[in-house]
Amino acid sequence: MSSKQKFILSRFTPYMGKKKVLMPLALFLSGISAALNILPYVFVWIIIRQILGSAGSLTLADIRVYAWGAFAAAFGGVLFYFCALMSSHLAAFRVEVGLQKAGMEKIRSMPLGYFDNQASGKIRKIINDGAGTTHSFLAHQMPDIAGSIVSPLILLFLTFFVDWRMGIASLIPIVIGFSTMGFMMNEQGMNFQKKYLNSMEEMSSESVEYIRGIPVVKTFGQTVYSFTRFHDSILRYKEMVLAYTLLWRKPMSFYTVVMESAAFFLTPLAVLMIGRSGGAAAILADFIFYLLIAPIFAQVLMRSMYFRQNSMIASQALDRIESLTDYPRMKYSDIPADNPADSLEFKDVRFSYDGANKAAADGVSFRVNEGETVALVGASGGGKTTLARLAARFWDTDEGEVLIGGINVKEIPKDELMDRISFVFQSTKLFKGTLRENILFGKEGVTPEEIERALVLSRSKEIIDGLKDGLDTVIGSRGTYLSGGEQQRIALARALVKDAPVILLDEATAFADPENEHLIQEALRELSRGKTTLMIAHRLTTVQNADRILVVNNGKIAESGTHDALLAQRGLYSGMWDEYQKSIAWKVAARETVTLGE
Ligand SMILES: Nc1ncnc2c1ncn2[C@@H]1O[C@H](COP(=O)(O)OP(=O)(O)O)[C@@H](O)[C@H]1O
Ligand SMILES: [Mg+2]
């Protein structure tokens, strides 16, 4: 809390590098600019007074001087503001770079799991958005803070200096307007705002979940059930916005009208004053002056209000970036483990994601003997992917242990662990580089024949042959993008080349097109031949031949056994199997219908 209450500028200063003077300079220049911007109104007021003849005689030459003065002040105002923006932009760029550097540094010591698809996108978004938000705040809004302090002070002074009675009259609407605002910002209003922001956040996170689920929904023909939570959150949001808008409708309309109503208060007063004491010319001049200046006053105060809001947004962006530091670092052992064996074992493993209210792994124990294939099946969200990730130590378990060759993965040095494991995950991403680099992944001494074999087995050869530069094609440059299925096949080639003893497969065939599917499965079989394999698959035909099948449900192993044993059990698995058979029958029927129709 205390850091939030610090003056916003001082929070950004550490990221500014050496030239910390830029921002104060910007504030100073913008303050001068604000003062200069008001000066023309004073000159115009003087000229009007003279023309109306209330202040002695005035030659045309005098008027010209004032007119030029007004012009010079206005021009100076623009010039100073320009310089202020220049230095604030320079400062903002430095902060942006500083923040990105700081963010990257923090990321380096995070657990691998932090970089799974969703989270790494989120981190990138936090850092990029945060840097962007703070940039626009520092570059554009920060210099205005000087103006929003200087301008009201000068205006307040002028308001009472020129004619205090009219000054008060011109202030009435502003006071009423801001009281309305203040009244609406009471506890109820703030609560409303909080609820509104919450429902917006909920909707956006539901939408992420929804989009994350689309491939699964599409590929495996799940029902619209998965869509109802997103739908509900949209409805809730709609209701909130409606209620919010209705609550604010009247006060906001009132506020807008009042803020523009200086004339309404000034006119009767001016008429009254002329009636009382005469001197119509002077009063008229002052009247015009206030008509000019009142809306500016309101505008300036409004801007100060927005400044508060914007500084809150910028400071929250900074909070989010700085909170990345709070993430516990992962400790890696550097004593070689030299596992003699390659079994994979989970012992009463418990694990929850940060902020989740239920465990993703809730007391899971199982063992994959060396050379065995164990399959994980079960409904989406059950915890299969989490288990595969825990095996590769993407995260550390909360309780229990994950052992490879009888040694806790925490005790195995990072490089050794990575050498031991190959994974092909549903969301494998290629990095920017050539296809060859992507496939070799730093592995040395691979013969061209071995590469060729991996390419053929993984059906990547067709992809490579279609590219002008073949294996030397740089991915992600000049339009060479691969589809999800193609990336999957390259990842498979990588795993085949790597030839690690422990294989983790998470829905590795999810993106395969129907004609490639059984070929990919063949490649997977080749990959896992004689290896310790943990495989996750939606297509139950894929897992039929596994040594053991584990049904994962709600973070627990619900059933375990061979395909035949599980079918005989008539439990979850046999239910899934029936569903699966039906869906295949349906697909075949659909295909036949299409063929007949042609
Ligand atoms: N990176 C993550 N952060 C937070 N929660 C997650 C993350 N990944 C998965 N979960 C949650 O953990 C649970 C298990 O998910 P997951 O292991 O992906 O299941 P499955 O692979 O069986 O579909 C789900 O409730 C899911 O929403
Ligand atoms: Mg999964």
Per-residue pLDDT reduced to its tens digit, 40-64: 988 888 888 877 765 556 677 778 8
Q: Other C-beta atoms within 10 Å of 334: how many?
A: 9
CATH number of 344-592: 3.40.980.10, 3.90.550.10, 3.40.50.620, 3.40.50.300?
3.40.50.300
Ligand 1 pocket list (CB less than 6 A) = 116, 118-119, 353, 356, 360, 378, 380-386
- 459 in the Ramachandran plot: left (φ > 0), alpha (ψ -120 to 50) or beta? left
Confidence at residue 597, expressed as pLDDT on a 0 to 100 scale: 46
The string of pLDDT tens digits covering residues 129-148 is 777 888 888 888 888 888 88
Which of 138, 137, 134, 148 has its CA nearest to residue 30? 148
The string of pLDDT tens digits covering residues 153-181 is 888 888 888 888 888 888 888 888 888 87
Question: Which residues is 553 bridged to in the sheet?
Answer: 556
- Ligand 1 pocket: which of 353, 551, 553 to mutate (most atoms within 8 A of CB): 353
The string of pLDDT tens digits covering residues 334-388 is 788 776 778 999 999 999 988 788 999 999 999 999 999 999 999 888 999 999 9
Spatial distance between the Cα atoms of 262 and 295, rounded to a whole number of angstroms: 8
Residue 3 has pLDDT above 80, yes or no: no
Residue 322 has pLDDT above 70, yes or no: yes
CA of 386 to the centre of ligand 2 (A): 7
Q: Beta strand pairing status for 556-561 and 399-404?
A: unpaired
pLDDT confidence bin for 327, thresholds 50/70/90: low
Spatial distance between the Cα atoms of 573 and 550, rounded to a whole number of angstroms: 9
Reduced DSSP (H G I as helix, E B as strand, rest coil) percent helix, strand, coil of the chain, to 5: 70, 10, 25
Which has more pLDDT, 520 or 456? 456
pLDDT confidence bin for 560, thresholds 50/70/90: very high
Is residue 144 within 8 Å of 307, Cβ to Cβ? yes
Structure tokens at 474: 């740089």
Residue type (1 letter), 474: V
CA of 349 to the centre of ligand 1 (A): 15
Which of 538, 541, 532 has its CA nearest to residue 377? 538
The secondary structure element, H or E, covering residue 329 is: none
Which of 134, 123, 72 has its CA nearest to residue 99? 134
pLDDT confidence bin for 204, thresholds 50/70/90: confident
Buried b / exposed e over 454-476, threshold 16 CB at 10 Å, is: bbebbbbeebbeeeeeebebebe
Q: Other C-beta atoms within 10 Å of 332: how many?
A: 15
Residue 574 has pLDDT above 90, yes or no: yes
Spatial distance between the Cα atoms of 174 and 431, rounded to a whole number of angstroms: 58
The domain made up of 1-162+308-328 has a fold known as ABC transporter transmembrane region fold (1.20.1560)
Q: Other C-beta atoms within 10 Å of 570: how many?
A: 10
Ligand nearest to the CA of residue 358, numbered in listed order:
1
Which of 499, 564, 508, 559 has its CA nearest to residue 532? 499
Which residue's CA lies nearest to atom 18 of ligand 1? 385
- 499 in the Ramachandran plot: left (φ > 0), alpha (ψ -120 to 50) or beta? left
CA of 562 to the centre of ligand 2 (A): 21
Q: Other C-beta atoms within 10 Å of 270: how many?
A: 23
Q: Which of 14-28, 324-338, 357-371, 535-549 has the largest mean confidence?
A: 357-371
CA of 381 to the centre of ligand 1 (A): 5
Residue 147: phi and psi, rounded to 5, are -60, -40
pTM: 0.55
Maximum C-alpha span of the chain? 112
Which residue's CA lies nearest to atom 2 of ligand 1? 353
Residue 277 has pLDDT above 80, yes or no: no
- Ligand 1 pocket: which of 386, 551, 576 to mutate (most atoms within 8 A of CB): 386
- 163 in the Ramachandran plot: left (φ > 0), alpha (ψ -120 to 50) or beta? beta
The string of pLDDT tens digits covering residues 66-96 is 889 999 999 999 999 999 999 999 999 888 8
Spatial distance between the Cα atoms of 22 and 29, rounded to a whole number of angstroms: 11
The string of pLDDT tens digits covering residues 382-432 is 999 999 989 988 889 999 999 999 999 999 887 788 888 888 887 666 776
The mean pLDDT value for 488-508 works out to 88
Is residue 542 within 8 Å of 521, Cβ to Cβ? yes
Residue 60: phi and psi, rounded to 5, are -60, -35
Structure tokens at 221: 């023909």
Residue indicated by tokens 């910390």: 20
Confidence at residue 474, expressed as pLDDT on a 0 to 100 scale: 83
Is residue 349 within 8 Å of 397, Cβ to Cβ? yes
Residue 511 has pLDDT above 70, yes or no: no
